[in-house]
Amino acid sequence: MSSRKNFYRLIKEYTVLERRRSHGTIKRRQSKDAAAEGVTTTGVEIDSESSIEKEAGANRDTSDDESSRPSDSLQEQESKKQETKAVLIGAEKMKEGEVGFGVVLYYAKEASYQIAATIIVLFLLAQGCLVSTSLWLKHWIKVSKEPEDNEPLSLSMFLGVYALLTLAYVLLYMVITWLGLAVARIRASERIHSHLLEKVLRLPMAFFDTTPVGRIINRFSSDIFAVDLRIPSKLIEICLFGVSVTSTLLLIVFTTPSFIMILPFLLMGYWFVEKCFLSVSRTLARIYAVSKSPVYQHFHESLGGVSTMRAMRIQERFIEKNAAMVDRMSNNFLSNMGSRRWLDVQLRVLSTIVLLCTALLAVLQRDSVDPSLVGLTLSFALTITEEVTTLVRNFCDLQDWNGSSSTQT
């Protein structure tokens, strides 16, 4: 501390001396001009001297104050120096926190906003056709049980409407698959790959000197693979199961209105489970993505120096190092899979509670509820377990892959 205080004082005194010298040169010029004009500059000199002395005193005070700062500021300065220290190969950075909705918007932009909006509308229409087929069957059963006072509707009419709704559902999903996987996916993959390649080719040579080749290969292999195949399929599945779960919950609320009092608590339970799982799964996925780069880099270096390894007879050391890196990568992958099994158990418990509440409310309101509508609601509630589990899992997978794909090099 004493040496640092003396250093600060030395710097301040040097600054004061430089100012005095500059003021001296200015005064000499002024004195020459005043002598030529017959004007004295005594008052100016006195004022300048006094101002210099005041500045010197103030600088000494500030130097004392700065030297008496706590050791925390010194530690911060040391840490900043360590951060700005140049290194030969920079460590691979891993993003922290959740992936924002801007990543999905960027993918939708590359795939075209019009196509994305069209796919969402087609999903809603397809789900409407699916629910309409079940509602039409319920109406068919209800009409068949009523007394035949009037002329009953023909069988061909019931079958025709049912076939028409089913055909519309199938055609809509064919169009969705074509737009989502054959048009939007290829367009987005091509544009994202072109942007990435263009940015990499325009980088300065210093980037390639400090970035291993395996890290760049990882960006163009696993990350582009996620953009090409995984992310589009997960987005389509999220839309599919999201619309399906929403329609099921609306049908349950329409059948048993008292279920709306339980729905907020169930949604809070799903949200809590999703947050707990996502905070762990996202980090594990990013660690797994980062652990791939050393494997690629080590393998690339081993191929380049295989003759030297054989000459030095150190093959075993490189084999053991490669096996250790692969084991570390596999452990990260298995940890992620273990967290998913925990998610499945929690979601199945919550979905079973939804089914239990629906059945209990239907029994309690059996006098005021249509039995055929109750049967339809229970049949939809039985599928909500798999639908909610798949929806949350796909959403978390999308967050994981988006996070690992956006990991900075």
276-328 pLDDT per residue, tens = 888 788 778 778 877 887 887 888 888 888 888 888 888 888 888 888 888 88
For residue 36, pLDDT over 60 is answered with no
Confidence of residue 15 (pLDDT cuts 50, 70, 90): low
Mean pLDDT value across residues 262-274:
85
Query: Among 7, 40, 6, 395, which residue's Cα sits nearest to residue 235?
Result: 395
Class of 221-409 per CATH? mainly alpha
Confirm if 401 and 285 have CB atoms less than 8 A apart: yes
pLDDT tens by residue, 112-155: 899 999 999 999 999 898 888 888 887 777 777 665 555 556 77
pLDDT tens by residue, 86-112: 455 655 555 555 556 677 788 888 888
- Angle (CA) 383 353 374, round 5°: 55
Confirm if 406 and 284 have CB atoms less than 8 A apart: no
Query: Residue written as tokens 């652990």?
Result: 291
Rounded-to-integer distance, Cα 3 and Cα 142, Å: 95
Mean per-residue pLDDT of the chain: 75
Write a three-state SS string for 303-357: HHCHHHHHHHCCHHHHHHHHHHHHHHHHHHHHHHHHHHHHHHHHHHHHHHHHHHH
Q: Which two tokens stand for residue 187?
A: 């367009």
Q: What is the pLDDT at residue 52?
A: 43
Rounded-to-integer distance, Cα 239 and Cα 179, Å: 14
Sorted by where each begins, the domain ranges of the chain are 2-67, 105-202, 221-409
Rounded-to-integer distance, Cα 304 and Cα 301, Å: 5
The helix or strand, by DSSP H or E, that contains position 1, with its residue range, turns out to be none
Confidence of residue 164 (pLDDT cuts 50, 70, 90): very high
Query: Among 112, 109, 407, 401, which residue's Cα sits nearest to residue 234?
Result: 401
Q: Which two tokens stand for residue 222?
A: 């696993």
Rounded-to-integer distance, Cα 188 and Cα 225, Å: 13
Rounded-to-integer distance, Cα 360 and Cα 351, Å: 14
Rounded-to-integer distance, Cα 130 and Cα 380, Å: 11
Q: What is the pLDDT at residue 170?
A: 92
Contact partners, residue 30, CB within 8 Å, separation at least 6: 41, 44
Confirm if 237 and 397 have CB atoms less than 8 A apart: no
pLDDT tens by residue, 215-261: 787 778 777 887 888 888 888 888 888 898 888 888 888 877 877 88
For residue 171, pLDDT over 90 is answered with yes
Query: Residue written as tokens 């096996």?
Result: 323
268: left (phi over 0), alpha (psi -120 to 50) or beta: alpha
Query: Residue written as tokens 């990350």?
Result: 223
Mean pLDDT value across residues 170-180:
92
For the ranges 8-17, 84-93, 139-148, 182-191, the one whose mean pLDDT is highest? 182-191
Least confident piece of the model among 252-261, 357-366, 395-404: 395-404
Q: What is the pLDDT at residue 72?
A: 45
Total count of residues recorded for the chain = 409
Higher-pLDDT residue of 389 and 26 is: 389
Rounded-to-integer distance, Cα 406 and Cα 409, Å: 9
Rounded-to-integer distance, Cα 303 and Cα 295, Å: 12
Rounded-to-integer distance, Cα 296 and Cα 325, Å: 10
For residue 56, pLDDT over 90 is answered with no
Among residues of the chain, what percentage have pLDDT more than 70? 70
